[in-house]
Amino acid sequence: MGGLKEVLYYMFHPNQLRAIIQWKVWHEPVYQRDPSKEAPTLRSCFEFLNMTSRSFSAVIQELNHDMLVPVALFYLALRGLDTIEDDMTIPVSVKEPMLRDFYKNMKIDGWTFNGNGPDEKDRELLVHFDDVIAEMKKIKPHYYDIIEDITIKMGNGMADYAINAQFLAGVVTIAEYEKYCHYVAGLVGDGLTRLFVAGGHANPALLQRPELTESMGQFLQKVNIIRDVHEDFEDDRRFWPKDIWSKYVDKWEDLFDPKNRTQALHCTSDMVLNALKHADECLLYMAGIKEQSVFNFIAIPQTMAIATLDLVFQNPKIFSSHIKITKGDACQLMTQSTQNLRLVCEVFRKYSRRIAQKNDPRDPHYLEISMALGKIEQFIETLFPSQNVKQVKALHTEKVNDSTSGEFWESLMLVAAVLFFLLLVSALMLGAAWVMGARWDTVLNMGSASSVEEAAKITAKIAHGEL
Amino acid sequence: MVIGGTGFLGHHVVNLILQRYPKSRVSVADRSVDRNRRQPEDGVQYHQIDITQASALSALFGNVRPDVIIHTASPLPQVDVSPTRELYDKVNVHGTRTIIAACRTYDVKALVYCSSASVVCDHTSDVINADESRPRVRGRDQPEYYAESKVCSLPRDAPIMPGAAIDVFDYKQSQAEDLILAANAQHPYLLRTAVIRPSAIIGEGDLMIVPRLIDIYREGKVYFQLGQNKNLFDFTYVQNVAHGHLLAAEALLACSTSGVDNDGKGVDGECFFITNGAPILFWDFARAVWVQAGCAYDIRRVWVLSRFVAMILAFLSEVFFALIGKPATFNRQRVSFSCMTRYYDISKAKARLGYEPLVSLDEGIQRSVKWCLDQEKTKRA
**Nearest residue to B212 (alpha-carbon basis) of B244, B235, B240:** B235
- Cα B50 to Cα A206, A349, B3, B53, B74: the distances in Å are 57, 50, 10, 6, 11
Chain B environment of A386 (Cβ under 8 Å): 128
Of the residues A237, A261, A342, A439, only one is catalytic, namely A237
Q: What is the pLDDT of residues A267-290, one digit of tens each?
A: 999 999 999 999 999 999 999 999
Return d(Cα B287, Cα B292) in angstroms, integer: 8
Contact B32, B6 (CB under 8 A): yes
Of the residues A33, A194, A227, A349, only one is catalytic, namely A227
Q: Tell me which of A407-416, A453-462, B185-194, B317-326 is least confident.
A: A453-462
Environment class of A172 (CB within 10 Å of its CB; exposed 0-12, middle 13-18, buried 19+)? middle
Q: What is the reported pLDDT for B316?
A: 87
Q: Tell me which of A126-130, A259-263, A437-441, B9-13 is least confident.
A: A437-441
Burial track A233-248 (b if 16+ CB lie within 10 A, e otherwise): beeeebbbbbebbeeb
| Residue from the list B127, B150, B284 with its beta carbon closest to the beta carbon of A359 | B284
To the nearest whole angstrom, how far is the Cα of B99 from the nearest Cα of chain A?
Answer: 31
**Best residue in A276, A353, A371, A391 for a mutation probing chain B (most B CBs within 10 Å):** A371
With CA atoms as reference, the chain A residue closest to B231 would be: A374
| The residue type at B361 | L
To the nearest whole angstrom, how far is the Cα of A308 from the nearest Cα of chain B?
Answer: 21
B150 has catalytic annotation: yes
Q: What is the DSSP letter of B39?
A: P
- Cα A99 to Cα A169, B20, B258: the distances in Å are 21, 55, 62
Q: What is the pLDDT of residues A97-112, one digit of tens each?
A: 999 999 999 999 889 9
With CA atoms as reference, the chain B residue closest to A360 would be: B299
Q: What is the reported pLDDT for B152?
A: 27
Q: Residue A382 and residue B361: Cβ atoms within 8 Å?
A: no
**Best residue in A277, A280, A367 for a mutation probing chain B (most B CBs within 10 Å):** A367
Q: Which residues of B59-120 form beta strands (DSSP E)? A: 68-71, 110-114
Contact A323, A317 (CB under 8 A): yes
State the Cα torsion B288-B291-B296-B298 to the nearest 10°: -10
* Cβ within 8 Å of residue A449, ≥6 positions away: none
Environment class of B220 (CB within 10 Å of its CB; exposed 0-12, middle 13-18, buried 19+)? exposed
Chain A environment of B138 (Cβ under 8 Å): 396
Which residues of A lie inside 8 Å of B (Cβ-Cβ)?
Answer: 353, 356-357, 359-362, 366-368, 370-371, 373-375, 377-378, 381-382, 385-387, 389, 392-393, 395-396, 399-400, 403-405, 411-412, 414-415
Q: Which of residues A463 and A434 earns the better pLDDT score?
A: A434
Chain B environment of A349 (Cβ under 8 Å): none
With CA atoms as reference, the chain B residue closest to A409 would be: B315
pLDDT tier, A460 (very low <50, low <70, confident <90, very high otherwise): low
In this structure, what are the phi and psi dihedrals at residue B111, rounded to the nearest 5 degrees? -130, 115
Contact B251, B268 (CB under 8 A): yes
Q: What is the 3-state secondary structure (H, E, C) of B294-306?
A: CCCCCHHHCEEEC
To the nearest whole angstrom, how far is the Cα of A406 from the nearest Cα of chain B?
Answer: 10
With CA atoms as reference, the chain B residue closest to A378 would be: B129
Q: Which of residues A260 and B161 earns the better pLDDT score?
A: A260
| The residue type at B374 | D
In this structure, what are the phi and psi dihedrals at residue B193, rounded to the nearest 5 degrees? -130, 160
**Nearest residue to B61 (alpha-carbon basis) of B47, B75, B44:** B47
Q: Which of residues A56 and B210 earns the better pLDDT score?
A: B210
Q: What is the reported pLDDT for B125?
A: 79
User: Taking residues A145-164, what's their average pLDDT?
Assistant: 92
Chain B environment of A411 (Cβ under 8 Å): 311-312, 315, 332
Torsion sign over Cα A131, A137, A138, A143: positive
Q: Tell me which of A342-351, A439-448, A457-466 is least confident.
A: A457-466
Chain B environment of A368 (Cβ under 8 Å): 362
Of the residues B90, B109, B150, B230, only one is catalytic, namely B150
To the nearest whole angstrom, how far is the Cα of A352 from the nearest Cα of chain B?
Answer: 11
Q: What is the reported pLDDT for B80?
A: 37
Q: What is the pLDDT of residues A168-210, one digit of tens each?
A: 678 899 999 999 999 989 999 999 999 999 999 999 999 999 9
Other C-beta atoms lying within 10 Å of the C-beta of residue B318: 20
Chain A environment of B319 (Cβ under 8 Å): 412
Chain B environment of A355 (Cβ under 8 Å): none
Sheet hosting strand B2-3, strand order edge to edge: B45-48, B27-30, B2-3, B68-71, B110-114, B192-198, B270-274
Return d(Cα A99, Cα A37) in angstroms, integer: 34
CB-defined contacts A:B, below 8 A:
103
CA atoms within 13 A on the CB side of B275: 26
| Residue from the list B128, B134, B278 with its beta carbon closest to the beta carbon of A371 | B278
- Residue A463: is its pLDDT beyond 60? no
Q: What is the reported pLDDT for A407?
A: 64
**First-to-last C-alpha distance (Å) of chain A:** 65
| Residue from the list B128, B281, B287 with its beta carbon closest to the beta carbon of A381 | B128
Return d(Cα A424, Cα A415) in angstroms, integer: 14
pLDDT means per 10 residues in chain B (381 residues)? 92 95 92 88 90 89 93 66 63 84 91 87 82 73 27 30 44 75 85 93 92 91 91 96 96 89 88 96 96 92 90 87 80 83 95 96 96 92 84
Q: What is the pLDDT of residues A13-34, one digit of tens each?
A: 888 888 888 888 888 888 888 8
- Residue A420: is its pLDDT beyond 50? yes
| Residue from the list B149, B297, B362 with its beta carbon closest to the beta carbon of A361 | B297
Burial track B19-45 (b if 16+ CB lie within 10 A, e otherwise): eeeeeeebbbbbbebeebebeeeeebe
Q: Concatenate the DSSP letters of all residues of B160-212 into one string.
A: T---B-HHHHHHHHHHHHHHHHHTTT-TT---EEEEEEE-SEESTT--SHHHH
Return d(Cα B225, Cα B298) in angstroms, integer: 13
Q: What is the reported pLDDT for B174?
A: 67
Q: Which of residues A334 and B329 earns the better pLDDT score?
A: A334
To the nearest whole angstrom, how far is the Cα of B190 from the nearest Cα of chain A?
Answer: 33
In this structure, what are the phi and psi dihedrals at residue B233, rounded to the nearest 5 degrees? -140, 140
pLDDT tier, A467 (very low <50, low <70, confident <90, very high otherwise): very low
State the Cα torsion B355-B360-B363-B366 to the nearest 10°: 90
Q: Residue B361 and residue A356: Cβ atoms within 8 Å?
A: no
CA triplet A168, A169, A170: central angle to 5 degrees? 90
Contact B275, B45 (CB under 8 A): no
- Residue A452: is its pLDDT beyond 90? no
- Residue A411: is its pLDDT beyond 80? no
Return d(Cα B279, Cα A375) in angstroms, integer: 7
With CA atoms as reference, the chain B residue closest to A384 would be: B129
Q: Concatenate the DSSP letters of all residues of A159-204 into one string.
A: HHHHH-HHHHT---SHHHHHHHHIIIIIHHHHHHHHHHHHTTSB-T
**First-to-last C-alpha distance (Å) of chain B:** 36
Contact A232, A168 (CB under 8 A): no
Q: Concatenate the DSSP letters of all residues of B219-238 into one string.
A: TT-TTEEES-S--EE--EEH
**Best residue in B299, B308, B335, B346 for a mutation probing chain A (most A CBs within 10 Å):** B299
Chain B environment of A385 (Cβ under 8 Å): 128-129
Chain A environment of B285 (Cβ under 8 Å): 370
Q: What is the DSSP letter of B153?
A: B
A237 has catalytic annotation: yes
Other C-beta atoms lying within 10 Å of the C-beta of residue A1: 5
Q: What is the reported pLDDT for A356?
A: 96
Burial track B124-155 (b if 16+ CB lie within 10 A, e otherwise): ebbbbbbbbebebbbbeebeebbeebeebbbb
In this structure, what are the phi and psi dihedrals at residue B187, rounded to the nearest 5 degrees? -65, 145
